[in-house]
Chains A and B, each alone.
With several copies, the nearest count.
Chain A
Amino acid sequence: MIDKRAANVAEAVSEVFDGATIMIGGFGEAGSPIELIHALIDQGASDLTVISNNCGSGEVGLAALLKAGRVSKMICSFPRTANSTVFPDLYRSGRTQLELVPQGTLAERIRAGGAGIPAFYTPTAVGTPLADGKETRRFHDRDCLLESGLTADFTLIKARRADTHGNLVYNKTARNFSPVMAMAGRITIVQAAELVAPGEIDPERVITPEIFVDRVVHVPNPAHESALVAAGATYP
């Protein structure tokens, strides 16, 4: 029978391996699965490629994973943060590579990866340094770039509510990248503030259908990054 629950966050991330590509949901702190990221720090996998819109703040969550030296490459749209020197130091010292992708192209590459579309054309970034080395083709009198789909070995995301089959709903703008990352992860791992039985989420309002989800772990009171940073918290 179908029951995707993991007993705890440690079990949920136990399969992550060195060298894995990991998508991590969130835009700023909204939707960032901090407890899963902290479990990943404890778990120890290294040489990770992380696909996430930002690079975290302070020294918790994604910034703490970076600071722990586990990330060899970031694929993101906006690595600058107000409250962190973690990524800038790693970048300037060459310890973490950066692939900078426009936010909409990043979102669409992730969706394409999840939807079985190997590549698509977009007008975004034509004529800019981010077009360097990319194939250009003209459609309807407009130059476009060829962009490839992105997939990941694991996706870590945060939901407001999940059922034990993996159907998800999110909270407000914490939805952001999570639905498309859920599609693009080979193993999609979800921390949910509420965990309910199948049927307790109206089928009309499911945002991520269960087919995209592999593990669900109940994290009833997820931390907010800004509160942790304000309190001077660090991890581990």
Chain B
Amino acid sequence: MTETGNSIGWSREEMAGRLAEDIPDGSYVNLGIGLPELVARFVPEGRELVYHTENGLLGMGPSPKEGEGDPELINAGKRQVTAKPGASYFHQSDSFAMIRGGHLDLCVLGALQVSRAGDLANWSLGGPDDIPAVGGAMDLVAGVKSIFVITQHCTKDGAPKLVESCTYPLTGLRVVDRVYTDLAVIAVRPEGFQLIELAPGVDFDLVQERTGARLLPVAETTSHV
């Protein structure tokens, strides 16, 4: 087992697939840019999910076939997408009424850091020369019923992303419900980080070693998010 890289634990696709298993049938879901977008590929058999993209589309479908895209049909990552049967377009204020008003069931986001209280930092490194850019992240964490984070367990330099308290600028306070990493699935409980499931070949001690705050063992009865 090496300290860096993804030679152990789940691949990106496996992380996305594992997260997708926890999305109930009929959910209205917003997927953040990057790794979260992968989740859409792994809808479990028999479930129907409806994807929202905050730039103004409910019922987002996959990328268009080569040559069939419309530069005015894009997702929040500014990539061309499609609209499924039953889709609808709406303006930004209506789109964020869905978000802020608590109408979305789940949002999946990336993270720079998650604290044991569930604080999320995912929009800025806070450097003096950084161009700050927030998009809809703060609205999403403030409004969506459940927030799942999907991220590598550690940074490329091996620093833990699950920490006692965030050092990067916050996106929201006490907003994260679960974290899906290459090593484990972890719930954010009032008592702190609690292990839900380990990736194959990974043990509790390894995850604890790579986590910047105390990790609680798997609960005997795992309550559902």
Contact = CB atoms under 8 A, between A and B. Distances in A.
A and B form one complex: yes
Interface of A: 1-2, 27-31, 53, 77-80, 82, 87-88, 91-92, 98, 100-108, 110-111, 113-117, 122-130, 163, 165, 167, 170-180, 183, 197-199, 201, 203-204, 206-207, 209-212, 224-227
B98 interface: yes
A172 B57 contact: yes
Contacts of A106: 92
12 contacts: A31-B72, A78-B134, A104-B54, A113-B101, A116-B97, A122-B100, A123-B143, A126-B142, A165-B50, A175-B91, A179-B91, A212-B98
Task: Select the residue from B28, B73, B96, B134 with max chain A CB neighbours within 10 A.
Answer: B134
B135 A177 contact: no
Interface of B: 25-26, 28, 46-48, 50, 52-59, 70-74, 78, 83-104, 119, 124, 129, 131-139, 142-143, 169-173
A111 B90 CA distance: 14
A209 B103 CA distance: 11
B91 A178 contact: yes
Which of B56, B96, B131, B138 gathers the greatest number of chain A CB atoms within 10 Å? Answer: B138
A199 B54 contact: no
Contact of B72 (A30, A117, A183, A207): A30
Given A180-B93, A210-B88, A87 B100 contact: no
Nearest to A28: B78
Nearest to A180: B93
Of A126, A128, A177, A227, most B-chain CB atoms within 10 Å = A128
A207 B58 CA distance: 12
B122 to A, nearest CB: 11
Contacts of A80: 131, 133
A211 B131 contact: no
A173 B58 contact: no
Contacts of B139: 102-105, 124
B147 to A, nearest CB: 13
B34 to A, nearest CB: 13
Most buried by B among A79, A101, A203, A207: A203
A98 B132 contact: yes
Contacts of B102: 116
Contacts of A92: 129
Given A1-B48, A176-B55, 19 more contacts: A1-B26, A29-B78, A87-B131, A102-B139, A104-B100, A107-B93, A107-B95, A123-B100, A125-B142, A126-B172, A126-B173, A128-B173, A129-B169, A167-B86, A174-B72, A183-B103, A201-B86, A206-B88, A210-B86
Given A28-B74, A77-B136, A211 B56 contact: no
What 10 A-B pairs are tightest by C-beta distance, nearest first?
A: A199-B85, A198-B86, A104-B96, A104-B139, A116-B100, A115-B97, A206-B88, A107-B92, A127-B173, A174-B72
